[in-house]
């Protein structure tokens, strides 16, 4: 197979790389600023692709990872955050037209799942569930070696599973989603609510007028490691709800591996001890857990890029 | 392709049929009593298969539908209800050995989904979700023309999705599952609880010592059609929670069609008006509903049998 080019369009950086078949190390790679809210996004994208274009070699396909919502079947971005220029924008078709090469698009969580499945923690598994716990909760699912995309390309939005119909408000505007219980902002929000209600803690409530951003999930984790009861409880609650969510996802998808990515997952046992306890309590048949691997992602920041590469390879060879 | 034989092993009847390729009408068909709790189940099964064996024609494969839990990958029954003889029993291997023909097993809900996809309401769709609302809530999911089975063969147990972590007890012994809100027994249990609490209704509380079975979901539906407020509320509640569950399932699977089977689904608008209202309120992006078909099953009692046929056809030709 010919060279594959992959681009991960992140919130702050666009990262591009070209790959020879069966080599993990890129031929060329390049990072530039995304500047999402400034005009000229397509020009920046084509430029970074040109920068990694291999000398002389033929390019088989281009894979693109972007935050959603988007339509992987048509290659259209629907409503990317902070980027009015790319609302309902035919990103993959434009890239394909510009370079005369097939281009494929999917969202960053699906492609991180695909990357981990092909090159990372999920290697050798056929049924993979990837969950990133960060500012939001994203997910991607591989079923029998195929990426689950769905009819509208909107499958595997597991962060927006309803965990408790009367639960707290999610960033998406709906109530009781997993993301509203177990994401980084949900952990901080819980702490702030408890501080507001007078719960004693070593953590300080930000002064009036300051943003919630003053307290970070990482600071809550540090306080928890120092023994702060509220901080420990905040992670315990997040882990318990994550266990409830994942129990339902096992009942739905029955994977052989669950891979956790994202910054909040790095809180380690603070999150995962209560998670495992809750999962075991909630899974309705012990067989789901037989041989099930629960682990953390291996590819770090490269997951989206390597997933975009895997997408392009799969689509180009099918 | 040669003849396919399908058997649907139900709680009360075993139904078998043989099918010529591309013909919907069976060559032969036969029903016998299942007698699950009596010894000799395998002999009854082989006998009913012999009865539909085509004269002279070669048989390509045998498909078997049974209540779960079971392992479709090995063809073992794990713990069928009321049948100690078939605990951890190699059903498909034994049938295969006896007849010298490949045999494939999956659970009745998965195979009803496959039947509706191939021959019923789901024809022409590639991403199908089938949900049967009855004594329990079962489901089957087709993703890109393939039946979702899962690593342990336990995928698509959507009736055991956790809808509310503190919700009522499910038949499986765990709390807050969809089945504990929206199945037939859940509707009856809600009514009985309200009657116990003194809510006025045309429905009568069974006398002490009588079983809950005295009041049926059908009787509650009849009372609702006569205007009984409690009966209407019981179906409204079941429909609301069904909408909450299905919203999460759309976020997870993003199908192009949702097919409802099972007796409780026949309550019509009593269940489905509140269901649709709740679903629209809970789906977090309107795109999931674009072009989505929501409909009722077409194959009735034949769904499992035709699904077993479709399974055998698919596996024999792959």
Q: Do A150 and B253 touch (CB under 8 A)?
A: yes
Question: Does the pTM exceed 0.90?
Answer: yes
Residues of A with CB below 8 A from B252's CB? Answer: 155-158, 161, 249, 252-253
**Each residue of B249-305: pLDDT tens digit?**
999 999 999 999 999 999 999 999 999 999 999 999 999 999 999 999 999 999 999
Residues of B with CB below 8 A from A126's CB? Answer: 151
Residues of A with CB below 8 A from B69's CB? Answer: 285, 287
Q: What is the pLDDT of residue A102?
A: 97
Among the partner-chain residues A144, A161, A163, the one whose CB lies closest to the CB of B146 is A144
What is the ipTM metric for this complex? Answer: 0.96
Residues of B with CB below 8 A from A241's CB? Answer: 165
Residues of A with CB below 8 A from B126's CB? Answer: 151
**Each residue of B127-138: pLDDT tens digit?**
999 999 999 999
Reading the block at residue B39, the tokens are 């010894």
Under 8 Å between Cβ of A110 and A71: no
Taking 70 as the threshold, does the pLDDT of residue A300 lie above it?
A: yes
Q: What is the pLDDT of residue A1?
A: 65
Among the partner-chain residues A172, A241, A285, the one whose CB lies closest to the CB of B284 is A172
- Report the percentage of chain A scoring pLDDT > 70: 97
A241 min Cα distance to partner chain B (Å): 9
Taking 60 as the threshold, does the pLDDT of residue B66 lie above it?
A: yes
How many CA atoms does the CB half-sphere of B89 hold within 13 Å? 19
Distance of CA A107 to the CA centre of its chain: 8
Give the confidence band of B206 by pLDDT, cuts at 50, 70, 90: confident
**What are residue B103's DSSP bridge partners?**
B62
**Each residue of B125-166: pLDDT tens digit?**
999 999 999 999 999 999 999 999 999 999 999 999 999 999
Q: How far is CA A243 from CA A219, A246, B123, B141, in A?
A: 23, 5, 36, 23
Under 8 Å between Cβ of A161 and A244: no
Q: Do B254 and A153 touch (CB under 8 A)?
A: yes
Distance CA A182, CA A22 (A): 37
Q: How far is CA B118 from CA A132, A152, B36, B141, in A?
A: 36, 21, 29, 13
**Each residue of A88-122: pLDDT tens digit?**
999 999 999 999 999 999 999 999 999 999 999 99
**What are residue A91's DSSP bridge partners?**
none
The average confidence (pLDDT) of chain A is 95
Q: What is the pLDDT of residue B9?
A: 95
Q: Over chain B, what HEC string results?
A: CCEEEEEEECCCEEEEEEECCCCCCCCEEEEEECCCCCCCHHHHHHHHHHHHCCCCCCEEEEEEEECCCEECCCCEECCCCCCHHHCCECHHHHHHHHHCCEEEEEEHHHHHHHHHHHHCCCCCCCCEEEEEECCCEEEEEEECCEECCCCCCCCCCHHHCECCCCCCECCCCCECECHHHHCHHHHHHHHHHHHHCCCCCCCCCCCCCCCHHHCCHHHHHHHHHCCCHHHHHHHHHHHHHHHHHHHHHHHHHCCCEEEEECHHHHHCHHHHHHHHHHHHHHCCCHHHHCCCEEEECCCHHHHHHHHHHHHHHHHHHC
Q: What is the pLDDT of residue B137?
A: 97
**Each residue of A219-235: pLDDT tens digit?**
999 999 999 999 999 99
For A71, the 3-state DSSP assignment is: strand
Q: Do B282 and A160 touch (CB under 8 A)?
A: no
Q: Do A158 and B252 touch (CB under 8 A)?
A: yes
- Report the percentage of chain B scoring pLDDT > 90: 88
């Amino acid at each position: 197979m010919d060279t594959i080019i992959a681009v991960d369009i992140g919130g702050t950086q666009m990262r591009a790389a070209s790959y020879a078949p069966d080599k993990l190390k890129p031929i060329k790679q390049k990072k530039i600023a995304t500047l999402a809210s400034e005009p000229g996004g397509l020009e920046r994208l084509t430029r970074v692709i040109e920068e990694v274009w291999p000398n002389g070699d033929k390019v088989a396909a281009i894979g693109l990872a972007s935050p959603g919502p988007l339509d992987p079947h048509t290659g259209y971005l629907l409503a990317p955050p902070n980027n009015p220029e790319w609302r309902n924008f035919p990103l993959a078709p434009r890239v394909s037209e510009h370079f005369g090469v097939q281009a494929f698009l999917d969202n960053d969580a699906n492609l991180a799942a695909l990357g981990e499945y092909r090159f990372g923690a999920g290697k050798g598994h056929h049924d993979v569930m990837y969950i990133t716990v960060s500012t939001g909760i994203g997910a991607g699912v591989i079923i029998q070696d195929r990426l689950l995309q769905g009819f509208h390309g909107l499958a595997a939005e597991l962060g927006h599973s309803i965990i408790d119909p009367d639960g707290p408000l999610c960033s998406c505007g709906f109530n009781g989603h997993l993301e509203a219980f177990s994401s980084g902002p949900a952990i901080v929000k819980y702490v702030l609510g408890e501080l507001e209600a007078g719960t004693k803690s070593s953590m300080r409530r930000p002064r009036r007028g300051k943003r919630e951003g003053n307290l970070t999930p990482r600071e809550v984790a540090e306080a928890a490691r120092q023994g702060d009861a509220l901080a420990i409880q905040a992670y315990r609650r997040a882990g318990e709800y994550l266990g409830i969510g994942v129990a339902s996802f096992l009942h739905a998808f029955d994977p052989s591996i669950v891979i956790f990515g994202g910054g909040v997952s790095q809180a380690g046992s603070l999150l995962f001890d209560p998670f495992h306890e809750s999962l075991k309590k909630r899974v309705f048949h012990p067989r789901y857990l037989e041989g099930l691997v629960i682990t953390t992602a291996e590819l770090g920041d490269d997951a989206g890029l390597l997933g975009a590469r895997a997408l392009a390879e799969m689509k180009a060879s099918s």
